[in-house]
Each structure stands twice: as structure tokens, then as C-alpha cells.
Amino acid sequence: MSSRIIRRPRDELARSDCSVCRAPNSGFHFGAFACAACSAFFRRTIAEKRAYICNRGNRCIIMQGRRTTCRACRLLKCLAQGMNPECVQPHRDSLIPNPGDGSEKRESESRENDFEQVLDEEPNSTQDQLQNSLKNLVGRGPIEVVALDSDFQASETLCYNPDTPVDGRLSSLDLPGPSLPSRNTSVIPTASNVVEHFVANYRRLMERRRMFYCPNSLSDILGGTPAEPRPAIFKTKFAPGKVRFELCNFIELLNSAEAFASLNHETKIAIVRNGAVQFTVFERYFNSVKLGGVELNRIMSPDGAYIDLTNNGAQYEVELLEGVIDHETFLKVFYTPIRESLYSFDSAMKHAEMSEVDFCAVSAVFLFDPYAPNLPLESCRVMEELRDRFYRDWFRHYEEQGLSIDEISLRIGNSLLVLPALKPILARCRENFCIIRFFGILDYDRLIDDLM
């Protein structure tokens, strides 16, 4: 039985996009015009006889921003667009030795995987995708249906062979990222895993804090000395310099996500307003539990200040002598609730066995919420795609660690269940600030008014 594929005239396709993913094509490859990423994917799949399985019944949409989500559907589309497996030369790369030399073969495969990984990165903005799609619709000419004599049935069965596993990628959290090959110098590489990239930037944020809050000497700044633990002073809780410094660190962390930089000004303001306070509260309790705050009965802040939960608010007695608020009311409003919140959050966090990776992934989930209030409608789609990518890469991170699907699902599910425990804590913090602002209990940075 002969197969039928769709083939367009070469002179028309020379001016169009990749016939597989609609990215700008790099030439005529294996019988169709395709980009460098899709042609490299097709060549390696056929040459190495790889097999892929689609979990959605081969109905996935293959486009430039989503071409790596399903390799099975990507291969089927390559075949449907006219890419001929018979044109692929096995071991055409002179760097690949005979199959008997296992070590050199693995090294060459690693280089090829790095090259394909760089080509498959998503674009920095959706503007290029819209322009490419519009150009393809306007410039599309008549389509010619050609019947081929060769039978592609053997090639299509590659997508349904469950015996050949899909190759995994190394984690970029512990290993250096792939270098950009000279043959593709126009492509700018980005992080292969957005969760691991977010974790790396969060660690840089922590290092900036350490250098800012550590003892005031060059030796301590360069020597890795942490901030000195000290009792918290209630009056400096919302000091202007401190609030601005922490807010700038938070915005810099958001900027590490490539899609955030491409958003419009109104969307960025909405994200910061919706997420800054929630992230601050979440991080404060996460680090308190991680650093032994439950055992020490302390709520810890990034600057080294802590609230002692064992002395019934004795550290604030000097400040309360001024008569702004009596001791009993202060404990009821500002002291007792945070002690209860710490124990509640500790239980949820330890049940989830939350790591730093989980903390960053959960933070990204609520920071890039497409259904957050006051978010412009035109940005919801970008936010949805970004959050979905965080979910996929979160799952992929633990998949590369060797965890089973059930273990990964349970871990991610338990981590997300920390959010309900965070909601009452966040609500209490907002209520307390309203009391501080209404009664003028202390001076605070007016920048907070723009966040509440």
C-alpha cells in the first residue's frame, strides 16, 4: 500500500517557514523545508531508530513554542510534511565512530543532544510566533498532493513501539549548560529547565542578601559570613531601605523568567502586586522551618532578625512602654497568630518533604497565575503557557532524578497542598498591616501601600 503525503512546490517553500513547527526554515532537508531543530530531530530519530509514544492519541499541536512537548506527534508531522526517512544517512557524522566504540559514541551523542537542545528552546516572546503564523497564512500557495511509491508504514511504526525508551536529559542544576555550537551561532541558548533556572537565580538572591546583611567588613562580605542572628525590632519591621531592597530582589528574581521580561508594563505591575507579599510570607516560613525554627521556637527573617516564641513577647516590652499599644493587645494581634501559623506550616511542609526546588516551583505557580486579579486579558495566554512550562519542567526535574511517575505526582501534589496552609497566614498578615496603618502604630515605607 502506497502512502500519500503533502508536498508543496520548492520555490514557494523557500520563502515560507518550517513546514513542521512554523519557525523560520533553514533550507530543504530530507524532502521538505524545515528549520534546523526539526531536521536534526528527524535525522537522529531515523538514524538511531528511536521510538516515541503519544499519551494523547497523536492529537498534539506542533508549533514553534511547543514542538518539544510530544516527540511522537512531531515525528508524524515530519513524515506528513514530506520528510523521507530514506534520505537519512546512518552515521553520516564523521565524528561518530563504529558502533563497537561505546565511549566515543556516547560522547558524540552527548554533543548532538546539546545541539538539539539549544535549537529546541522556546522563543523569547510570542511576537515572533504571531508574525510567523500570519506570514504562513498569507503567503500559502496551492497545495499539491503527491502519491509516493515508497511505503512509509515501517517508519510510522516507530511512534508505537513501547520497547524503545525516550532518552532523558541531564539536569542543568548540577551540570554546566550546553555550549552553543559554532554551526548555529545565531541561536541564543536559554535554560533547558525553567524550574532549575529559577532555583539558580533564587540562590543568587540569597547570596546578595547575605552580602548586604552580613557584618560590615570586606572580609565578611567576600568570606561568605552569614547575617548575625539578633532579636527583631518591631519598629524596623517595615523600614524604608529594607522594604525597597527586598522588593528589588523579588523583581530581579521575576526577571530571571524570560517570559516576564517580554510582558507589558501593566502586567508586570499586576504580577508584583499579586505576588510580592505572598512570596515574602511563604519564603519567611519556609526558611524558618528549614533552619530549625520550630525546634528553636523562632520566626526567622532574611536579615538575621528573629522573633522568639518562648518569652511571650518580652523582646518587644521596651517598645511597648511608649503606650501606642498595650502588651495584651499586642500579643493577641501580632504575636500569638504567627506562632500558630509556624506550627501549621511546619506540619504541611514536612508532610510534603518540601525542598528548595519545590519551594521555587510552588512560588512560580502562584506568581504566574493566569487567573490572578487585575491581570490584562492579553497577557493571560502567556502566563498560562509559562506556568504550564513550570509544571512540565518540575515533573521532568524529578524524572531525571530517577523517581517514578507515582512518586513525582505525589511529591508535587503534596507540595501544592502547602498553599492552602499559606492562605490564612497571608490573610492575617494583611489584617495586621491594616491595623498598623489605621492606628499609626509605627512608621513604614509607603511603597507597601502600593503592594497591599
Do both 372 and 342 map to the same domain? yes
Residue 443 lies in a domain: yes
Do both 356 and 375 map to the same domain? yes
Residue 149 lies in a domain: yes
Q: Are 171 and 146 in contact (CB under 8 A)?
A: no
3-state secondary structure of 81: coil
CA nearest neighbour of 215 among 228, 229, 230? 228
Q: Residue 172's domain is classified under what CATH number?
A: 3.30.50.10
Q: What is the reported pLDDT for 91?
A: 59
CB neighbours of residue 409 within 10 Å: 13
- 10-residue mean pLDDT profile of the chain (452 residues): values are 46 63 82 86 86 80 74 87 82 47 48 48 44 42 38 37 36 36 33 82 88 85 83 70 83 81 84 87 84 78 79 60 65 73 76 85 88 79 85 89 87 87 80 76 69 70
Do both 377 and 259 map to the same domain? yes
Please give the grid coordinates belonging to residue 124. Answer: 523569547
Please give the grid coordinates belonging to residue 241. Answer: 531601605
Q: What is the reported pLDDT for 209?
A: 86
Q: What is the reported pLDDT for 86?
A: 84
Do both 173 and 242 map to the same domain? no
The span from the CA of 165 to the CA of 435, in Å, is: 59
Distance of CA 73 to the CA centre of its chain: 24
Q: Which of 142, 161, 184 is the last residue of a domain?
A: 184
Q: What are the CA-CA distances from residue 418 to residues 124, 176, 234, 362, 389 (Å)?
A: 31, 32, 28, 9, 20
The span from the CA of 365 to the CA of 380, in Å, is: 14
Residue 189 lies in a domain: no
The range of the structural domain enclosing residue 178 comes to: 4-184
Residue 256 lies in a domain: yes
What DSSP string describes 275-332? HHHHHHHHHHHHHHHHTTHHHHTEEE-TTSEEEETTTTTGGGHHHHTTSSS-HHHHII
The span from the CA of 87 to the CA of 355, in Å, is: 48
Q: At what angle do helices 194-213 and 377-400 cross, to 10 degrees?
A: 90
Q: Which of 164, 184, 204 is the last residue of a domain?
A: 184
The span from the CA of 418 to the CA of 329, in Å, is: 30
Residue with cell 500579643: 331
Q: Are 447 and 394 in contact (CB under 8 A)?
A: no
- Give the number of domains in the chain: 2
Residue 14 lies in a domain: yes
Alpha helix (H) residue ranges in 19-101: 36-47, 71-80
Do both 206 and 271 map to the same domain? yes
CA nearest neighbour of 335 among 236, 229, 432? 432
Do both 162 and 228 map to the same domain? no
Q: Are 221 and 295 in contact (CB under 8 A)?
A: no
Do both 199 and 166 map to the same domain? no
Q: Residue 276's domain is classified under what CATH number?
A: 1.10.565.10
Do both 317 and 417 map to the same domain? yes
Residue 260 lies in a domain: yes
Residue 291 lies in a domain: yes
Do both 83 and 217 map to the same domain? no
Do both 256 and 133 map to the same domain? no
Do both 93 and 222 map to the same domain? no
Q: Which of 126, 159, 184 is the last residue of a domain?
A: 184
- Count CA within 13 A, CB hemisphere, residue 184: 21
Do both 228 and 141 map to the same domain? no
Alpha helix (H) residue ranges in 120-193: 127-138, 153-156
pTM of the model: 0.54
Q: Are 167 and 50 in contact (CB under 8 A)?
A: yes
Q: What is the reported pLDDT for 282?
A: 87
3-state secondary structure of 445: coil
Q: What is the reported pLDDT for 187?
A: 28
Residue 274 lies in a domain: yes
